[in-house]
Amino acid sequence: MSVEAGKDSFVPDTLKIPPSDGTPIWKLSMELFLNIAERLDSATCLTFSQTCRTLYILSNERSAYWRNASFAHGLLPRIAPMKSFTGAELRSTAVKSINLEWIWENRSPSVAKRIAVPTQLHKERYFVPSGSRWLFQYGTRISKDSRIPTILVYDMITEQHIGESRIPVSDKIHRIVGQSLAPDMVVFAVQFVRRPHIAICTAKFHEHDGVPGKQEIETVGNMQTGKDITFCVFQEGLVGITTEDEVVIQQWDNPASQWRLDAEVEWTPRGLQVARNRLLLLERKIDDEPIKSWRIRVFDISVVRDQEAQQISEDETRQLRFIDSANITHAPGEPFYAPYWEDRILESGVHFGFKTLLLIHTEIGEHLWHCDLRLDTEETTDGLIEERLIVVGEYIVGQEPDERPRQFLEGFILGPKASRIVWTTGDGSTRIRSDWTDENASESRELDMHSKPMSIPRLLVFDELFGVIMQSDTSTHHALFYFI
């Protein structure tokens, strides 16, 4: 077998390969194949490695083959830094990811394993860093004369608690958001109920003789505001918070990278998301009308990661650059905001597009409102390049009457890849929809969760990367994990 330029679909256009002279593939430089592999995602890397025995051996023996592939850290075989994994371990993890994706796409995904985690804290809530094996249980530890904000860490693989951390503040934990940076490290932000700041923490994990040891949680920074925080997000290594009249964003480990923007008169921030170098801000118009007006504003946040911009700018001038805005819908109630973004290749080039999922409360239940937007690059008459936010379409995602979410549901649970949503219906069943971004999508599917009769569980966690759904069980005071 020989390789010829332009004849293999997996060869990027930017990679120049000399014409074939009939040389067998096993005599070609291994560095050539490593250069190809580092331009591919993990799924394509796996497919590439199956084309011949030489590439299979390369993927199994050289960890550099998987250099730029991304993995769900909870699927890796050990708790260790990423650089310590062998090629064979990374290949095996890629196979697990592909198999999990196939299971999700099965007509009726069934539960492979069920775990009950006892509730231990007052008003306990839950957080799972996407793709990781760690469950963070947080709430208040009540003793005879004190109420202490507490975080418990549970290992979903070994099914045991591996540590407890208490936060020395006289307040309650409202919310925890964060991400898994490595198999042995999680970074998260703690939002409190009344305090006008969030704590930025790291959790480091260790393994001894194949058994997870206790974790180490350390507070490494704070983000301070003058008013109560209404929303907090942790994405792509950035922490963003909103108050009634401003938005603040920074790198999680660099307070000097902080930039902000002021809310406009008559509009209040209600949701915040990071999509690459863009900040997507959901705002609601302040008025007494029962039908609320909503819009999305887009800002450039590349300066947040730019060290040079941080050095030359003064704090009072650090206002994010506005790009464009669009009104998305007029709706009653409070929407659930979940952007999903993608690159779209059009005739004029690559455009940045995203879709917005809004959960609208109505008298007969809840409906899903889907808004499709696109950020286009245009050249003005004076030769400048500008980006325009365009509403491509808006529509209600239809549901059959027996598939509608039950009323007063806290919200749909959206997977971290933003391609699947899960909800609970009025009869206690749990349903999943994989293609919510398609206007002509197929019907949702029921998950075989084996709920108890007359029981309507509450969804707590959905992580499609690790293959887990979590529900409450009020009859036994447990949280139930279902591994798909």
Q: At residue 73, does pLDDT exceed 90? A: yes
Which range in 76-85, 164-173, 313-322, 424-433 is most confidently predicted, on average pLDDT?
76-85
Nearest CA to 134 among 458, 473, 466? 466
In a domain, 39, yes or no: yes
In whole angstroms, give the CA distance from residue 469 to residue 458. Answer: 11
In a domain, 431, yes or no: no
What angle do helix axes 42-49 and 53-61 make, rounded to 10 degrees? 130
Radius of gyration (C-alpha) of the chain in whole angstroms: 24
236-256 pLDDT, tens digit each = 889 999 888 889 999 999 988
Domain count, the chain: 1
Residue 78: give the domain boundaries.
25-98
Nearest CA to 249 among 304, 176, 183? 304
In a domain, 56, yes or no: yes
H or E, element range at 122: strand 122-127
- Structure-model confidence comparison of residues 54 and 434, the more confident one: 54
φ and ψ of 274, to 5 deg = -110, 125
Q: Is the separation of the CB atoms in 272 and 240 below 8 Å?
A: yes
pLDDT at 313: 59
Q: At residue 52, does pLDDT exceed 50? A: yes
pLDDT band at 88 (very low <50, low <70, confident <90, very high): very high
The percent of residues above 70 in pLDDT, for the chain, comes to 71
| Residue 18: exposure state from Cβ atoms within 10 A (0-12, 13-18, ≥19) | exposed
Cα distances from 347 to residues 192, 372, 376, 406, in angstroms, run 48, 19, 12, 43
In a domain, 49, yes or no: yes
pLDDT at 347: 54
In whole angstroms, give the CA distance from residue 163 to residue 155. Answer: 10
Q: In what order do the strands lie in the sheet with 197-204?
A: 173-182, 185-192, 197-204, 216-224
In whole angstroms, give the CA distance from residue 200 to residue 191. Answer: 9
387-426 pLDDT, tens digit each = 888 877 666 655 555 555 554 344 567 666 666 778 777 6
Q: Is the separation of the CB atoms in 151 and 186 below 8 Å?
A: no
In whole angstroms, give the CA distance from residue 401 to residue 404. Answer: 6
The percent of residues above 90 in pLDDT, for the chain, comes to 14
What letter would DSSP give residue 236?
T
In a domain, 125, yes or no: no
In a domain, 30, yes or no: yes
Helix and strand numbers (H, E) in the chain are 5, 30
150-189 pLDDT, tens digit each = 999 999 998 888 888 888 787 889 889 899 999 999 999 9
In a domain, 106, yes or no: no
Mean pLDDT of 276-302: 83
186-214 pLDDT, tens digit each = 999 999 888 888 899 999 998 877 777 77
Count Cα atoms within 13 angstroms, Cβ side, for 201. Answer: 20
Q: Of the given ranges (69-73, 354-358, 453-457), which has the lowest mean pLDDT?
A: 453-457
Count Cα atoms within 13 angstroms, Cβ side, for 379. Answer: 4
